[in-house]
């Protein structure tokens, strides 16, 4: 027994299941296969024989279209995966009544993979037909007004894709990997593949500042490409923090041999290079 006031029970009597089956059934008709030919020889000579043609009658019978269409409705209505759908269907009497079952059956309606194959078989055209019947039923039972269908608002969330940008360090690592792979395929024995070094250098490159953030990192001037003096290592964390706060980074220590500030030296790192960016 089911509650006749349940929304799915009411919808069961309103949906045009006969028309839905009529529209979707042609997608599952057996198609004629092109026969193959082979040359045979007997007492009468050589002649061609055809085989494997026509419409085959073998194979497992398909599940009812009403059952599979109702499973698609339930899947999209309750936002379930194929595995969750078949498991809950075997426990829900109302869902089975909506699917056209006359009696409760404590079993799975089908294998979860068959739902995906059914969706592929009907294609985009079949899914549009199901949506069409759904909208028609909603208008007939006055769940929505026809005026509400004149304008459709699509709300989409823009999310940044996980795109691996082709930075230099990644391109170099990919080139190293492909060279090693090509060498192994050609049977060339390599003494060292630099796999560990490549991963370590790529990790270090990923820790550098973003492009446009001008700072001297690990005693290295990114703008001009030379290292600072060994007497006092640069402090990139202080330089980055000063740039973010809009302050001027501290000047060089006079005891290091260069009493000029970063602005006077022309260093993009604002005072953390030991020598001038022009190489002087």
Predicted confidence pLDDT, tens digits, the chain (280 residues): 788 899 899 999 999 999 999 999 888 877 777 777 778 787 777 878 776 666 666 667 788 999 999 999 999 999 999 999 999 999 999 999 999 998 999 999 999 999 999 999 999 999 999 989 998 898 888 888 888 777 767 666 666 666 666 777 788 888 888 999 999 999 888 888 888 888 888 777 776 645 544 444 444 444 444 444 444 444 455 555 655 565 555 544 444 444 344 444 444 444 444 444 444 4
Of 128, 145, 162, the one marking the end of a domain is 145
Q: Whole domain around residue 244: which residue ranges?
A: 209-280
Of 145, 165, 185, the one marking the end of a domain is 145
Q: What is the pLDDT of residue 95?
A: 95
CB 11 within 8 A of CB 94: no
Q: What is the pLDDT of residue 31?
A: 72
Q: What is the pLDDT of residue 80?
A: 92
Assess if residue 174 is contained within a domain.
Answer: no
Same domain, 133 and 236: no
Same domain, 241 and 108: no
Q: How far lies 253's CA from each of 98, 264, 273, in Å?
A: 81, 14, 11
Same domain, 4 and 138: yes
Q: What is the pLDDT of residue 118?
A: 92
Which residue, chain included where needed, has tokens 């008709």?
29
Q: What is the pLDDT of residue 155?
A: 65
Instruction: Tell me the C-alpha distance between 269 and 85, whole Å.
Output: 59
Same domain, 130 and 268: no
Cβ count within 10 A of residue 65: 20
Q: What is the pLDDT of residue 82?
A: 93
Q: What is the pLDDT of residue 18?
A: 92
Assess if residue 273 is contained within a domain.
Answer: yes
CB 35 within 8 A of CB 60: no
Same domain, 125 and 223: no
Same domain, 13 and 109: yes
Lookup: tokens for 155: 């709300």
CB 262 within 8 A of CB 271: yes
What does DSSP say about strands 220-221 and 216-217: parallel, antiparallel, or unpaired? antiparallel
Lookup: tokens for 1: 């027994």
Same domain, 16 and 108: yes
Residues 6+ apart with CB under 8 A from 101: 67
Q: What is the pLDDT of residue 174?
A: 86
Assess if residue 199 is contained within a domain.
Answer: no
Of 121, 145, 169, the one marking the end of a domain is 145
Q: What is the pLDDT of residue 66?
A: 93
Same domain, 2 and 131: yes
Q: How far lies 97's CA from each of 49, 71, 80, in Å?
A: 52, 12, 19
Q: What is the pLDDT of residue 30?
A: 73
Q: What is the pLDDT of residue 267?
A: 47
Q: What is the pLDDT of residue 242?
A: 59
Q: What is the pLDDT of residue 151?
A: 76
Q: What is the pLDDT of residue 244?
A: 57
Tell me the sheet residues that pair with 48: 39
When divided into structural domains, the chain yields a total of: 2
């Amino acid at each position: 027994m089911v509650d006749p006031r349940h929304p799915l029970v009411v919808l069961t009597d309103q949906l045009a299941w006969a028309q839905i089956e009529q529209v979707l059934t042609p997608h599952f008709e057996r198609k004629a296969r092109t026969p193959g030919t082979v040359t045979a020889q007997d007492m009468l000579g050589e002649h061609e024989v055809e085989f494997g043609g026509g419409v085959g009658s073998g194979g497992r019978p398909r599940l009812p279209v009403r059952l599979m269409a109702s499973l698609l409705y339930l899947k999209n209505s309750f936002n379930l995966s194929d595995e969750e759908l078949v498991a809950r269907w075997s426990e829900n009497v109302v869902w089975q009544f909506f699917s056209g079952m006359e009696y409760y059956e404590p079993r799975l309606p089908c294998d979860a993979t068959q739902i995906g194959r059914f969706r592929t078989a009907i294609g985009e055209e079949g899914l549009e037909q199901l949506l069409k019947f759904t909208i028609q039923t909603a208008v007939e039972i006055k769940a929505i007004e026809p005026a509400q269908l004149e304008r459709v608002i699509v709300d989409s969330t823009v999310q940044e894709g996980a795109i691996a940008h082709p930075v230099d360090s990644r391109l170099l690592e990919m080139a190293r990997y492909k060279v090693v792979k090509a060498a192994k395929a050609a049977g060339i024995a390599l003494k060292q593949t630099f796999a560990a070094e490549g991963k370590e250098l790529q990790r270090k490159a990923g820790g550098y500042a973003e492009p446009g953030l001008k700072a001297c990192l690990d005693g290295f001037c990114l703008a001009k490409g030379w290292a600072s003096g060994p007497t006092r290592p640069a402090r990139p964390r202080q330089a980055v923090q000063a740039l973010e706060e809009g302050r001027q980074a501290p000047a060089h220590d006079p005891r290091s041999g260069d009493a000029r500030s970063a602005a006077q030296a022309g260093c993009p790192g604002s005072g953390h290079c030991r020598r001038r960016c022009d190489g002087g």
